[in-house]
Structure 1
């Protein structure tokens, strides 16, 4: 039986206001056209690189039975909440919050590496030219069928309407609000500046009251973007290896034990040499330029036409490890400009982690996390351990299975750029057998100083801006194309009274499917695999 609540308003985010979305319904309803919402999904004003979708882009694999159970539960929750007036439904038409929230888009499967990513729709409701950031493929077929692509609707959100009446809004959380610069139109962005603070953007980072604004592990998970996913090895990986194995020094190299086995990376012991660290250095291949080079602010949702202008310094990795009992330590090297951090993680369960900065030891406070050998991990009920390491916002953070190995190390005296290796991240092992699965290189959001395709220059760049006692500074995750507090001319800051609530669930995602039901027609049908919580 179809649900028939009042038609929810659309969430905007571009210069073009969005229109009310269609009522929610369980039964199939034919679409008036391929794009039922007349507001175009700007090739950028809300995306998809992979946020919680598996760290950003493609959804986690979900069985059909589990998917339909989750769909039913989410739909029942929708009914209860809407009937109780605790939540309100909105639809996202554009891509300014990509990859966290997706507007109308096409889901593309790269024919070369198999990576799945979303591409926004341009001004004529046609997808922009895809660019696979994972392998650099850009010459995709023009038609959807040969592109192995599916058209998908904009994310439908459930918004907790009264949350901000119960507690204060928090930095980095997503909010829906009535845009003061576009009266009567609801927007969705991320809260960055809080009442009474000064806000300034510098080199892609946010500074609050003169100090860099940092993120917790959970906040990083909700915002980090995938740069490279080794689950989908590029076909040119032999010609342009993404990882360079090295043991010893350049002048005195020693045999490496690293082996590539498709998406899996393995290390085998070399007993004569196992007293020396065996390193894997990540080498980034610029997908736009086709050469090895620095990581840039590319976002798949924007396609070939947008992004890639700014060099990225804030990087990290995520991987699943199986650590052999003969491994003495795992090592992580993180580099940002002139600073190099080296973390040594013993696996004996006794030795605390060590951290150095530019060769000098740093005093750190051990945390609850522990990297274990495979035997010890199995005893604890695990076969693999999830390692997360990052250097975001001048903060070194390393965790295993969600537990910090040491309290995050923050520094406020960054060193200038130095000559030498440009590899931003490296992974090493001291000792024997190690298996690395699902390895991803990730980056932080880089907030840009201008709006792509326009002469608009951002405020809060040359000098800080101060917020009033009840004002908030809002930014979109897809920074190159997001129209937000940086660019709103009349009322750049959002008053507390304009806050609508916090979106917490993408509840009724859909895809466009041609079905011979009631004649030849195109239908938007629910896709329960895409239901997800919003961080």
Structure 2
């Protein structure tokens, strides 16, 4: 019998029948790649991968943007001058964007001057540019500031992926495609949500959901409030030569306080001390220098008398002085051609304020008091220096005792001797207290209902009298049986949202026509604040309402019922006073590359999260 051939195998894996094992062949030598070829390929692949990842990230996740305008000032800045006031040292920014540039010449809307928010000194920027304006020979040019160059707007990062899985929230700073021309990116704050009606009155925002019948005030979280506040005065930013000329300090020390004044360079710093029994108050009196004060000092003339006035929505970013303006005012007064028109110095009374102070307690006895006034009503924080217990209270205008039912308390670190940084705020119908830059949590709500306590909001107007200065002394710091030293006293204001649908004489205002131009300093004209305009905007499903923080200079949803100019000179009119959901690009996250300050290296202290 013939034998059957067994299938051959290779290892443990059976081979097909009939396959023969081939003898092993020696491996051919492989020529090595040239090192430069390998490195070039790896570099190319790395760059290609980085480019693809960057493209994907930019398209779907995050994207850098540059802020073009100052509609979001003070939180975000467009093209601007970044300056140190030569008189008081305050750092501030002024709008430097222009609509036309002429080679070798100065455009008529070039920024050549502006006004300091602290001491109201009007200064010129860049002597070379100022000389080209061709002023009359006798015209007076004020001192220059350092760092006069113009800088581009803040560079920010935008999260484009967030709204794919999360709903936009009120107070988000959002980038979107402009409804009138979807090729342009805009940035504003989202203030109105779908299916509600937004109301603007008295600088505040109110909302009424479609299912409800009453408006309620919108309240911002503390971190957002902190980012949106505007500086009014700082005792470390008083010019020494203003004081030497006879201008009064803005904090009235009254009886019991000792004032210590020290000069550092051009600045006059103050500290206030008190010791002994009794109740003693320091009162802030808003007396910023008027347009005639600084020219009088520079000419050695007698100063005009100081004038008390209400705190307004003054924003230094809006005080840009142009060649056209200088030429115009030079024909009126060659000695003072650098003038900021009153409509750009703030027209509206702001009652939502902050007071901040550095406190040194020399003993553990007595109370520290912080008080703010709005429409004559007093809002107070009392801190027991022995225990650190803080108590909030409200006193109605003309009444000596606090309202009942409102007395939130909290424990703070301000107990015993030591130094602390304290800030108290009355904003959005809520009282807030910070100690050493941390928000204090109270045992009860610190919000209050204006209408329930004080009556209709439209009747709220500033108050003053011979017995009580009221809103002409809107911030106070006091001591009761305490031994204290106070320094670096500061006053801030909240932003003011203007209820307007139109622009009148280049200024957005909600005051009634015919309002006294001196309304801020004339109590007889204060009734105009009860007749301020009110605007309501219904918001449908999948629609939002956006506004700029710099309300006088913001082309936002309030004004989208009229033609809007573009950078190319064309005009577009959006469909209505709303932003559709599909036009949202993303949420602004942070300022990532601030410009340098006198050096090549960027000012990294200006890097910040956008709130």
On whether the aligned pair clears a TM of 0.5, the verdict is yes
Would you say 1:293 and 2:298 are equivalent positions?
no
Task: Provide, for residues 72-116 of structure 1, a one-character-per-residue CA deviation record: whole Å limited to 9, x for no partner.
Answer: xxxxxx979947952111111211111111111111111111111
User: How far apart are the structure 1 equivalents of 2:504 and 2:221?
Assistant: 29
Q: 1:292 to 1:124 in 2, by over 3 A?
A: farther
Q: What does residue 131 of structure 1 align with?
A: 115
Q: What does residue 286 of structure 2 align with?
A: 284
Q: What does residue 347 of structure 1 align with?
A: 385
Would you say 1:336 and 2:374 are equivalent positions?
yes
- Structure 1 residue 165 displacement after superposition: 2.4
- Structure 1 residue 484 displacement after superposition: 0.2
User: How far apart are the structure 1 equivalents of 2:435 and 2:555?
Assistant: 37
Q: 1:108 to 1:100 in 2, by over 3 A?
A: same
Q: 1:369 to 1:128 in 2, by over 3 A?
A: farther
Q: What does residue 74 of structure 2 align with?
A: 99
Normalising by structure 1, report the TM-score: 0.73
Check whether the contact 2:67–2:77 (CA below 8 A) recurs between aligned residues: yes
Q: What does residue 477 of structure 1 align with?
A: 549
Three-state SS of the structure 1 residue aligned to 2:86 is: coil
**For 1:424-503, what aligned pairs fall within 5 Å after superposition?**
424-448=474-498, 449=500, 450-451=502-503, 453-454=505-506, 462-489=534-561, 490-491=574-575, 492-503=577-588
Q: What does residue 372 of structure 1 align with?
A: 414
Check whether the contact 2:173–2:588 (CA below 8 A) recurs between aligned residues: yes
Check whether the contact 2:192–2:546 (CA below 8 A) recurs between aligned residues: yes
- Structure 1 residue 308 displacement after superposition: 1.3
Task: Provide, for residues 113-142 of structure 1, a one-character-per-residue CA deviation record: whole Å limited to 9, x for no partner.
Answer: 111111111444622531112011114355
Consecutive unaligned residues in structure 1, runs of 5 or more:
1-77, 248-254, 378-383, 515-523
Check whether the contact 1:457–1:487 (CA below 8 A) recurs between aligned residues: no
Check whether the contact 1:266–1:433 (CA below 8 A) recurs between aligned residues: no
Q: What does residue 230 of structure 2 align with?
A: 225
Q: What does residue 246 of structure 1 align with?
A: 254
Worse-matched range after superposition: 296-305 or 96-105: 296-305
Task: Provide, for residues 478-507 of structure 1, a one-character-per-residue CA deviation record: whole Å limited to 9, x for no partner.
Answer: 110100000012332111221111111111
Q: Which of the pair is proportionally richer in helix? A: 2
Q: What does residue 66 of structure 1 align with?
A: none
Three-state SS of the structure 1 residue aligned to 2:163 is: helix
Three-state SS of the structure 1 residue aligned to 2:477 is: strand
Q: What does residue 534 of structure 1 align with?
A: 610
User: How far apart are the structure 2 equivalents of 1:178 and 1:467?
Assistant: 18
Q: What does residue 431 of structure 2 align with?
A: 396
User: How far apart are the structure 1 equivalents of 2:59 and 2:90?
Assistant: 41
Check whether the contact 2:368–2:482 (CA below 8 A) recurs between aligned residues: no
**For 1:164-175, what aligned pairs fall within 5 Å after superposition?**
164-175=163-174
User: How far apart are the structure 2 equivalents of 1:411 and 1:143?
Assistant: 53
Check whether the contact 2:393–2:407 (CA below 8 A) recurs between aligned residues: no
User: How far apart are the structure 1 equivalents of 2:349 and 2:180?
Assistant: 31
**For 1:73-222, what aligned pairs fall within 5 Å after superposition?**
82=57, 85-121=60-96, 122-124=98-100, 126-127=110-111, 129-140=113-124, 142-143=126-127, 146-148=144-146, 149-209=148-208, 210-222=215-227
Q: 1:462 to 1:127 in 2, by over 3 A?
A: same
Kindly tell me the number of residue pairs found equivalent between the two proteins: 430
Q: What does residue 266 of structure 1 align with?
A: 272
Q: Which of the pair is proportionally richer in strand? A: 1
Would you say 1:315 and 2:353 are equivalent positions?
yes
Check whether the contact 1:318–1:386 (CA below 8 A) recurs between aligned residues: yes
Q: 1:181 to 1:268 in 2, by over 3 A?
A: same
Three-state SS of the structure 2 residue aligned to 1:117 is: strand
Would you say 1:360 and 2:401 are equivalent positions?
yes
Three-state SS of the structure 2 residue aligned to 1:219 is: helix
Check whether the contact 2:432–2:439 (CA below 8 A) recurs between aligned residues: no
User: How far apart are the structure 1 equivalents of 2:534 and 2:504?
Assistant: 18
Higher RCO, 1 vs 2 (CA within 8 Å, ≥6 residues apart): 1
Q: 1:288 to 1:95 in 2, by over 3 A?
A: farther
Three-state SS of the structure 1 residue aligned to 2:64 is: strand
Consecutive unaligned residues in structure 2, runs of 5 or more:
1-52, 102-109, 130-143, 209-214, 263-267, 294-306, 320-339, 511-531, 562-573
User: How far apart are the structure 1 equivalents of 2:84 and 2:388?
Assistant: 45
Q: 1:445 to 1:505 in 2, by over 3 A?
A: same
Q: 1:445 to 1:451 in 2, by over 3 A?
A: farther
Check whether the contact 1:150–1:512 (CA below 8 A) recurs between aligned residues: no
User: How far apart are the structure 2 equivalents of 1:354 and 1:468?
Assistant: 39
User: How far apart are the structure 2 equivalents of 1:364 and 1:105?
Assistant: 45
Check whether the contact 1:190–1:477 (CA below 8 A) recurs between aligned residues: yes
User: How far apart are the structure 2 equivalents of 1:81 and 1:227?
Assistant: 45
Q: What does residue 256 of structure 1 align with?
A: 257
Q: 1:144 to 1:483 in 2, by over 3 A?
A: farther
User: How far apart are the structure 2 equivalents of 1:350 and 1:153?
Assistant: 46
User: How far apart are the structure 2 equivalents of 1:346 and 1:201?
Assistant: 38
Check whether the contact 1:100–1:222 (CA below 8 A) recurs between aligned residues: yes
- Structure 1 residue 143 displacement after superposition: 2.2
Q: What does residue 411 of structure 1 align with?
A: 449
Q: What does residue 104 of structure 2 align with?
A: none
Three-state SS of the structure 1 residue aligned to 2:238 is: coil
- Structure 1 residue 284 displacement after superposition: 1.0
Check whether the contact 2:69–2:153 (CA below 8 A) recurs between aligned residues: yes
Would you say 1:505 and 2:590 are equivalent positions?
yes
Check whether the contact 1:150–1:511 (CA below 8 A) recurs between aligned residues: no
Check whether the contact 1:99–1:477 (CA below 8 A) recurs between aligned residues: yes
User: How far apart are the structure 1 equivalents of 2:420 and 2:548?
Assistant: 32
